[in-house]
Amino acid sequence: MTSVPHTYFLLGDYVNTLDSYGKKGAYYLDCAALAAMGENAIALSKLREREQSGGATGSVQGIMCSLRAYLEGNWNESSDAITSADVFFRRDPETLYYSARHLARMNHTEQAISALSAAIDRGFLCASAVSRDPWFASLRPLPRFVELMKEAERRRRETHAAFLAAGGEQVIGVA
């Protein structure tokens, strides 16, 4: 899932998320960007259409169902979609991030913190993205959230230092 559109999404640049998304694999991220822009009706229409086509499986299907149910105002179904797809989510830190943002938006604080912690444990170290994402607003005052952001940033710095020490800039040609 790591890609140009995902990077734009994490930067909060939803217009470029949509512009760079294209048609291939259009299942979740474009709809999440539309919802972030307040275009809930368009996102909901796309999600319903995609669910009916049956093309998505695993974690993508679960996160799509969760977003669709959230946009319909059915928070129980949204939360249940995350719970039932948990086996898939546990493998993918980015999907854990998206499930955490859904849970935070619905004020399922403990579940959101747990999912966010799991995402960080699995290498999702984009504390700046989490800190600016409006769907995490309910978590920001919590000491555990602040601790998680500090941990993510500490691990990001360590990872970056290891990358530099191993000659990573030369490998990717940016030195």
What pLDDT is attached to residue 86? 67
Indicate if the pLDDT at residue 2 is higher than 60.
no
What average pLDDT does range 135-145 have in this prediction? 96
Indicate if the pLDDT at residue 24 is higher than 70.
no
What pLDDT is attached to residue 89? 62
60-91, pLDDT tens digit by residue? Answer: 788 899 999 999 999 999 999 888 876 666 77
- Looking at residue 12, what DSSP letter applies? T
39-66, pLDDT tens digit by residue? Answer: 999 999 999 998 888 767 667 788 899 9
The pLDDT-based confidence of 22 (bands split at 50, 70, 90) is confident
- Looking at residue 28, what DSSP letter applies? S
How is residue 43 written in tokens?
């996102």
How is residue 126 written in tokens?
């984009």
What pLDDT is attached to residue 87? 61
What pLDDT is attached to residue 88? 61
Closest CA to 101 of 136, 73, 66, 140: 136
Closest CA to 35 of 59, 61, 14: 14
What pLDDT is attached to residue 40? 96
Name residue 100's amino acid.
A
Say if CB 79 and CB 103 are below 8 A apart.
yes
What pLDDT is attached to residue 48? 93
More confidently predicted of 134 and 25: 134
What pLDDT is attached to residue 1? 40
Judged by DSSP in three states, 162 sits in helix
What sign has the CA pseudo-torsion 124, 95, 90, 133?
A: positive
Instruction: List domains and CATH numbers for the chain.
Output: 4-172 (1.25.40)
What pLDDT is attached to residue 170? 85
